[in-house]
Structure 1
Amino acid sequence: MLRENFNDNWKVCKSVAALDALFYPEKVQEPKPVKLPHDAMICSERSPEYPTAGGGAFFKAENLEYTKTFFVPKEDQGKVIFLEFEGVMQYAFVWVNGGFAGQHPYAYSNFYVNITDFLRFGEENTVKVIAKNGAQPNSRWYSGGGIYRNVKIIKGEPLHISMDGVMISTPIAESDRAVVEVRAKIENENLGFRCGWLKTVIRDEDGAEVAKERTKFHVFSEGTLTVQQRIYVKNPKLWNLDAPYLYTCESILESEEIRDKTAVSFGIRSLTLDPERGLQLNGRTVKLKGGCIHHDNGMLGAAAFEDAELRRARLHKKAGYNALRSAHYPMSKAMLDACDRTGLLVMDEFTDVWTSCKCDFDYGFSFAEWWERDVEQMVYKDYNHPCVVLYSIGNEIPEAGSPTDASWGRKIAEKIRSIDKTRYITNALNLPGAILDVVVPMMRAQKPESAGAKSGEINQVSKDMQQDMRSWILNSDILQERIEESCGVLDVIGYNYTTERYENEPKLSPNRIVVGSETSPAALAENWELVEKHGYLIGDFSWTSWDYLGEVGIGHFGYEDDKIDRFYGDYPWIAAYSGDFDLTGFRRPISYWREIIWGGRNHTPYIAVQRPGRYGQKPADGNHIWTDSISSWTWPGYEGHPIIAEVYSDAEEAELFINGISQGRKPVGDEFKKFYCQWDTVYETGEVEAVTYIGGKETGRFRLKTAGTPRLRVEKESESLRAGTNDLCFINIELADENGILNTAVQKDVTVSLTGAGILQASGSADPRTEENYYDTTHKTFYGRVLAVVRAGEEKGTARLTVSAEGMDSVVVEIPVV
């Protein structure tokens, strides 16, 4: 079927109930033109009074109305026509020409609406989409609002290949031969018996034909059938992490004349799983170097732009990651495509809730009625993506410990297996959360004044839980009895923050396979040692690899004068501040420590420096906290003051030099962490350098220098944009001296303005505690950095971004729009 972009020429306004619009016309707003994908919430105001609260970063949420007028040619009469919505936040209702055409409550799964019967051919038509996002809170994180993923219009003949109807697997994937199994579902909406042929052509990345097949079929009126083909490919290029090669499968339905055609990309690869070798890709064991990500793209909000998703994927890969977990909902098509292209494996997660709501208005309201359709959509969406290796059926689901409600897990798992037997199923279990009916009364007895005891909210319970209580729970017979069934339906048991149980798993069953589905960032050294030691431990997913909006302040350092007793921070916190990457995609120090543990950086050490203004103060303990450090040797006003310099390395020893003078040599790895050592020294301007040694021989050097007087340094990440598309150019703005050294100590108000053939989509810093808006054009630098994002305009030309700051020469960056 012909798929066309349907993102242009929409209008949006606050949705007003019909009676209110009739009796109170002043409530009706003038619609504003928008181009999809569009996140309305990121453009709204913030207040501590809004019900989104800290989980939703205090943003205002509203019910939204989107409308679009479009012409349908007379010659389309007789065809079947659908709209595909890749994601609407949330409770979407669709009308066409005033007629109710469909609805979909789950905000994270794509859905199709057959609009054929509602259209007027040869005339203008109007589609209206209502997103009921005003009922808050609807998520435990920043959700965004509106039609935040792509929309397509799909046209086909009555005899056509179904939506997501081509499903490709590779049961044999070897270096000299592969079997590509193609299953195509065909629908006949004609009144009449039809004969046809399905022609399939496999093409390589250059478009050359490498294999083909043609199969005859007959189908009855209003009938469906599935055509299966086994196609042999000689000397295939296998999809793997280092060379993610993609083929294209063209499916052409022929009946008298060509009736339908579709093309999907896929990879030829094999997956196996066992307790000794773990997860194997093309016969080689792969340990999952994973990160959990939310769906937002920082200052872009929830809008799923292809370039933003591809940028995130590439930066993860460059930092040493080989896997991502979509937490806690199905991953966008754009991110799946990005992972296919970059060679990242994916754990795609279905939901954060089953029947027990975690927020007042979350998916728990709709789960019992809609789960089966939403599971189907997730699996059909994922099926042809070689990056997807695991389905997670839930995150920290309390029903997993219920004798009656654990059956939901079995239903979901078996539904997935009924569609896709080529991948593996897990569930991200929070073990105390599975027996909250036991845990919360214990907490109320031991810590009656704690927020966790009062609320019973799982994150707060985990924060407040005493270690002795935690140890008892994780080793209790009652826990094992309660989760036994939930574990038994899985191919891989997912544990959130439960490293203590890893080595006990083979005693429970020699067939068990485990993944750290969500772990503390600073626990990687201990976790990874176990992952490498045991075949049945297949990987580790840190919370989180990329900072995100909402769940504000969970990575807060919590010094005595700046404590947060609750799990979330107070307004104006906007971000979690727990990622290896900050909101702008800039790597934080823990990212380099992680890369070194995973064997990266070729023995080159890394230096981070703790903020001297906090010297001698102890930060709070927490699951999502690293040291309060940045990679900088620019600390004006602290000359002669004590300072902590950290060195990360996989060497045996490290030596620190300040202005050429040795501060001593130390073994790498101390009481704090492995692959880590620190020097309690005195700050001097100039240069700090780390030299590392193995067997007494130097293996690497890394140095930081004090920055001089800053100037604006502006660098664009894209050379050009395509007019009329959703192409983005990310522009890094830094305060750097004449030698290019980032000055993290100077804070400036940076103003950006755009003229020409582009749109300033967003700008801002990575500051997790700010009252600035990402639609503002002036922002304070955060550790010397600001990011601007330019979106392609509709017409060809040049987009010119002017960057200015008081006392500095302005810089103009030109971006061709071609």
Structure 2
Amino acid sequence: MSRIPFVDGWSVGPKLGAFEARDDSTASVPVHLPHDALRDLPRSADSVQGVHSGYIPGGVFEYTKTFEAPAEWRDKTVRVEFEGVYRDATVFVNGDFAAHEANGYAAFVVDLDPFLRLGEVNTISVEARVHRDSRWYTGGGIYRPVHLLVDDPVHLALDGTLVVSRDIDDERAILEVSTRVENRTRYTATRRLTWTVTDDDGAIAATGTSPVTVLPGGDAVARVRLAVDSPRLWGPDSPHRYRVRALLDDGGTPTDETTTAHGIRRLQLDTRHGLRVNGVSVDLRGACIHHDNGPLGAVSIADAEDRRVRLLREAGFNAIRSAHNPASRALLEACDAHGMLVMDELTDVWTKSKTAFDSSIGFEERWRRDVAALVAKDANHPSVILYSIGNEILELATPHGATWSRRIAEEFRTLDPTRFVTNGINGIIANLGRMADAMAEAAASDPNTMMAGMGEQMARMNSSALVTESTEESAAVLDVVGFNYADSRYDLDAELFPNRVIVGSETFPDRIASLWSDVRRLPHVIGDFTWTGWDYIGEAGIGRVDYTDAEGYTPTGTAGPFPYLLAQCGDIDITGHRLPASYYREIAFGLRSEPVIAVHRPAHHGRPVAKTPWSWDDVVSSWTWDAPAGSPVTVDVYADADEVELLLDGEVVGRVTVGAPRALVARFETEYRPGALTAVASAGGAEVARTSLATAGRPLLSARAERDEIAADGIGYVEITIADDQGTLHCDRDRPVAVEVTGGELAGLGSARARTEESYGSSSATTFDGRVLAIVRAGSPGEIRVTATAEGFAPATAVIAVR
């Protein structure tokens, strides 16, 4: 079986009524899939989706494509596979209804055979609806890849090969391989299946064969147990994979084949050793992430997903939580390749809604199909170790909610008993009806705002007898109990529930030092997932820092006022740039000895601020500021040390004990003067490590491609900066940059500025802290040239070869 890309020749426009005709304002425009129909819509403060989507509106969209159906397809089976359409996808072929899929994250297949006009041009159309159906930015339309499947009537089923390795030792691993064959003919068919396991160098590691007979209109599963000698295991530090080829033949003539990647690995879980992968205890250094890809919008493209996973891995994370929806295939493939462990999440709601038109509508009828779709997608990915059945489910603390917990958990175990089941439990959210009326009223409109103001009271409530008793049954059905913002339960549950394994499924970013100490101290706590590892569109301003003396300032809780677009709470910003919080976390993880200098913006020195629990300080790792010499400035140094000495051009500024205002931080009050700022960390009286920041020289506009070469169907990233000739950025000289692309297409352009009215679909953008990111899509082999221009600077060009 081969998936043929079905991504060109599409157009999209607003869905019209049956008696409406298109005009210039509603005309369809050509697009290349995957495509996000929401990203470039005009934003406004009164957008019906509001702060949840970053003030980007929803809509109803219609995609259309015409294609030839050659006469030779008469003896074939023809289908189209959609990896994801957000949301409520309705598919028509030649004007006739063909399929409907309500779940915006589930892959589905449309059988074209009943509708095709062979030897003619055919039309397929897909409708998608987005309207107040999520608490974050979902994007809209056909945002994941589409494939055409043209097969013999007797063929290998889509995702029909499953490889499981349970019996593993140093001598050999037994691969249990099952392959499903489908028969669309009117006759019984007998075929032969041959399986071949190869290593990454092409060497054959095992083979097997079996005949399989399939009755008309049915399917049959063929199985084999294959021994791989001296197996190379898949793990976080050595993500080795084998390839399992299934070949179907008819009397010696090959008729279909598929290749499935497989990582051989052992998972163990208990309260003594925590999580073990291949016998080695692993603490999950986790990042929650949403599914959008920054300036690209909510599209899943293999190169973008691979880049995100690679950068998260380089920042010290070894696990991600796909919040609060199933991950894309491309993301899981990247996690397999980079050794990133995955918690894949089913949904944000069950039967009780959080927004007006969310997926709680119809959940009781659809949930088994949703679980099956997630498992079918994940089953062959060694990176997936945890299935999460939900996030902060409202009904979880009731008897009926516990029944749903058990029902969904058992469905996962029935379909895939090889992985562990968890759930992101928030005991406060689950008990809103039993908490104080004031808290319930606040949470009804915005649960995040409620949580932002509660502090220590929230910790006490999460460890209360009410939460303990009301969530016990829902927690008991899980292999790993996920707690959102409930680290106050870690020690308590070791006493109350000695067999309970816990993961911090969602935690506040500024508490990582104490949270990670808990993970290291308590064997039954297997990891921590921060909110969030990577910034995202929507939940706008949830992690912002407000200066409360600003004219017209009005407190708005976690809801950032228009024109906030981004959440502004990631360790890594929307462009892929690591922020000071990321380096602080790396130090807290024990992965970094070099200190980090984080400078509070001198222009705001001394101003009062308001933050949320998801905020970091408004700091930048820079000593280049448009501020007069002698301006007061606050400098933080992050270090795993006893003391830090700060020097400016070799002169001692001060020496401060580490630990204030928070763990691993030394804070200095000094004055800004251009030069070289150096931090020296010491422990036990001896220097541990040092780091420096230098003031930038003459500013230049530069453009640098992350990779000099990309594939013809790939995308490339170009960082455009205002910096000196050594690459040191000018943070206070931001200005609009225009970008022109030849030999390819500008797919997205934007900066990390959270509060902006600029569009990622524009050809110009204003730098933020000296940088902006251009993303280009390759066409045919050749060369892409990306030229940036800005007033007062010479143009800058980056060149990418397309192979």
TM-score > 0.5, shorter chain as reference = yes
Q: For residue 719 of structure 1, what is the aligned residue in structure 2? A: 708
Asked whether the equivalents of residues 20 and 27 of structure 1 are also in contact (C-alpha less than 8 Å), the reply is no
Asked whether the equivalents of residues 16 and 28 of structure 1 are also in contact (C-alpha less than 8 Å), the reply is no
Q: For residue 231 of structure 1, what is the aligned residue in structure 2? A: 226
User: AA paired with 2:73?
Assistant: D
Residue of structure 2 aligned with 1:642, choices 604, 626, 632: 632
1:650, distance to aligned residue in structure 2 (A): 1.6
Secondary structure of 1:483's partner? helix
Q: For residue 398 of structure 1, what is the aligned residue in structure 2? A: 394
Q: For residue 328 of structure 1, what is the aligned residue in structure 2? A: 324
1:813 paired with 2:798, answer yes
Secondary structure of 2:255's partner? strand
Secondary structure of 1:299's partner? helix
1:620, distance to aligned residue in structure 2 (A): 2.2
1:153 paired with 2:143, answer no
User: AA paired with 1:51?
Assistant: V
Asked whether the equivalents of residues 625 and 730 of structure 2 are also in contact (C-alpha less than 8 Å), the reply is no
Residue of structure 2 aligned with 1:426, choices 406, 422, 440: 422
Asked whether the equivalents of residues 80 and 149 of structure 2 are also in contact (C-alpha less than 8 Å), the reply is yes
Q: For residue 79 of structure 2, what is the aligned residue in structure 1? A: 82
User: AA paired with 1:759?
Assistant: E
Residue of structure 1 aligned with 2:254, choices 255, 258, 268: 258
Residue of structure 2 aligned with 1:416, choices 412, 417, 432: 412
User: AA paired with 1:517?
Assistant: S
Q: For residue 319 of structure 1, what is the aligned residue in structure 2? A: 315
Q: For residue 657 of structure 2, what is the aligned residue in structure 1? A: 667
Q: For residue 447 of structure 1, what is the aligned residue in structure 2? A: none
Residue of structure 1 aligned with 2:782, choices 784, 791, 797: 797
Secondary structure of 1:379's partner? helix
Cα distance in 1 for partners of 2:173, 2:71 equals 45
Q: For residue 472 of structure 2, what is the aligned residue in structure 1? A: 484
1:108, distance to aligned residue in structure 2 (A): 1.1
Q: For residue 769 of structure 1, what is the aligned residue in structure 2? A: 755
Asked whether the equivalents of residues 174 and 282 of structure 1 are also in contact (C-alpha less than 8 Å), the reply is no
Cα distance in 2 for partners of 1:737, 1:158 equals 63
User: AA paired with 1:194?
Assistant: A
After superposition, residues 298-697 of structure 1 pair within 5 angstroms as 298-441=294-437, 443=439, 452=442, 455-465=444-454, 467-468=456-457, 470-561=458-549, 562-601=553-592, 603-670=593-660, 672-697=661-686
Cα distance in 2 for partners of 1:549, 1:608 equals 25
Secondary structure of 2:577's partner? coil
1:440, distance to aligned residue in structure 2 (A): 4.7
Q: For residue 160 of structure 2, what is the aligned residue in structure 1? A: 165
1:612-666 CA deviation, whole Å, 9 max, x = no partner? 2222334224210111111011123242122111111123332111121112333
1:66 paired with 2:63, answer yes
1:456, distance to aligned residue in structure 2 (A): 4.8
1:196-247 CA deviation, whole Å, 9 max, x = no partner? 2221111111222211110223232223222221110011211111221121
After superposition, residues 701-740 of structure 1 pair within 5 angstroms as 701-723=690-712, 725=713, 727-740=714-727
Distance 1:657 1:720, change over 3 A: same
Secondary structure of 1:13's partner? strand
Residue of structure 1 aligned with 2:121, choices 97, 119, 124: 124
Cα distance in 2 for partners of 1:337, 1:103 equals 27
Secondary structure of 1:117's partner? coil
Asked whether the equivalents of residues 89 and 127 of structure 2 are also in contact (C-alpha less than 8 Å), the reply is yes
1:691-737 CA deviation, whole Å, 9 max, x = no partner? 122332222110001112210121101222333x2x11100011111
Distance 1:87 1:735, change over 3 A: same
Cα distance in 1 for partners of 2:555, 2:699 equals 35
Cα distance in 1 for partners of 2:541, 2:640 equals 31
1:44 paired with 2:41, answer yes
Asked whether the equivalents of residues 185 and 226 of structure 1 are also in contact (C-alpha less than 8 Å), the reply is yes
Cα distance in 2 for partners of 1:440, 1:798 equals 63
Cα distance in 1 for partners of 2:160, 2:25 equals 42
Cα distance in 1 for partners of 2:726, 2:452 equals 45
- Aligned-pair identity in percent equals 42
Asked whether the equivalents of residues 401 and 474 of structure 2 are also in contact (C-alpha less than 8 Å), the reply is no
1:213 paired with 2:236, answer no
Cα distance in 1 for partners of 2:739, 2:170 equals 52
- Aligned residues, how many? 799
Secondary structure of 1:380's partner? helix
| Gap regions ≥5 residues in structure 1 | 445-450
1:158, distance to aligned residue in structure 2 (A): 2.1
Q: For residue 297 of structure 1, what is the aligned residue in structure 2? A: 293
Secondary structure of 2:410's partner? helix
Secondary structure of 2:396's partner? helix
Q: For residue 747 of structure 1, what is the aligned residue in structure 2? A: 734
1:474, distance to aligned residue in structure 2 (A): 2.1
Cα distance in 1 for partners of 2:497, 2:250 equals 55
1:241-284 CA deviation, whole Å, 9 max, x = no partner? 12211211111122323232111112111111111111111100
Cα distance in 2 for partners of 1:547, 1:388 equals 22
Distance 1:192 1:57, change over 3 A: same
Q: For residue 16 of structure 1, what is the aligned residue in structure 2? A: 16
1:105, distance to aligned residue in structure 2 (A): 0.7
